[in-house]
Structure 1
Amino acid sequence: MYSRDQASQIKQAFWTAFGQYIAPQPSADGLRTNWVNYKTGIKHLHFKMQADKRSAFIGIEISHPDLGIQELIFDQFKELKTVFNASIGEEWDWQLHTTDDNHKTVSRIIKTLPNVSVFNQNDWPALICFFKPRIIALDDFWSTASYSFDLFK
């Protein structure tokens, strides 16, 4: 077991390594991008990457406190599902009104990688190989689809 401080340091080391690895990759628009803290430009709409001791996931998380607006944003993604699938190249799990780790209602479009641990450095290559192409594909999708969400700014 790791202390909370040790766990935090290991996670920070992974995300720093991942950030350095992907930093040379330009965005779909040819710009420098902070891939680890990707900004969508829409409040309550985040591209989230998370790794813990059992699994990892990457996804789009809609956390708007008004569940009606959260559902409208989710519905907008559903309208663009064909474009999304073309950019991503694989099926993701679409979850309307699920609960996050903090017991908050969110909606997500996610892909999970089971049986990996951020605390096992031998799993880091698998985590990087999981996150990198998917965050780049999300950026590619967002480059063409973001205008459809301008009314939620």
Structure 2
Amino acid sequence: MYTKHEIKKTRQDFWTTFGQYMKPVPNADGSKINWKNYKTGVKHMYFRMKAERDFASISIEVQHPDEEIRGLLFDQLITFKRIFQQEVGEEWEWTSDSPNEWGELSSKVEKTITGVNVMRKDDWPKIISFLKPRIVAIDAFWANMKYGFEGLV
């Protein structure tokens, strides 16, 4: 078992390592970017990366509190699904209106791997190798498609 402090410190160290690894990678527009805290520019739409004790995941989450607007934003994502899949090069899970860890409804497009543990430093290369190409692909998708979302909110 790990103490809360050990868990917090290890996660912090992982995300610092990830940030350092990604720092030289420019976004699709050629600019510097904080990959971990990616700003979509659309309120209530987020790119999320998680590294936990039994999985790692990456997602685009729509967390608008208004059900109709959340649905509109997610429907727009679905409209661009083929383009998204071409950019990421694989199938992702598409989920509409499910509760997140805080009980709020959100819709998301997500890819997960299991069998990795952020608490094991030996797993960090595998987690980073999972997250890096996917966040870069999401960014490339977003660079071309974000304008289709900006006027919806």
Is TM-score (shorter-chain normalized) higher than 0.5? Answer: yes
Residue 133 of structure 2 aligns with which residue?
A: 133
Give the TM-score normalised by the residue count of structure 1. 0.98
Percent of paired sites with the same residue: 43
| Equivalent position SS for 1:152 | coil
Aligned length in residues: 153
Residue 115 of structure 1 aligns with which residue?
A: 115
Cα distance in 1 between the residues matched to 2:70 and 2:93: 17
Residue 73 of structure 1 aligns with which residue?
A: 73
Cα distance in 1 between the residues matched to 2:25 and 2:53: 27
Superposed displacement of residue 68, structure 1: 1.2
Residue 94 of structure 1 aligns with which residue?
A: 94
Residue 29 of structure 1 aligns with which residue?
A: 29
- Does structure 1 conserve the Cα–Cα contact (< 8 Å) formed by 2:72 and 2:152? no
Residue 17 of structure 1 aligns with which residue?
A: 17
Q: Which runs of 5+ in 1 are unaligned?
A: none
- Does structure 1 conserve the Cα–Cα contact (< 8 Å) formed by 2:27 and 2:140? yes
Deviation string 1:14-68 (CA, Å, 9 cap, x unpaired) is 0000000011001100000100100000111000000111101000011000111
Give the TM-score normalised by the residue count of structure 2. 0.98
Superposed displacement of residue 152, structure 1: 3.3
* Equivalent position amino acid for 1:68 in 2: E
Q: Which runs of 5+ in 2 are unaligned?
A: none
Cα distance in 2 between the residues matched to 1:152 and 1:59: 20
Which aligned segments of 4 or more residues in structure 1 are displaced greater than 2 angstroms?
A: none
Residue 58 of structure 2 aligns with which residue?
A: 58
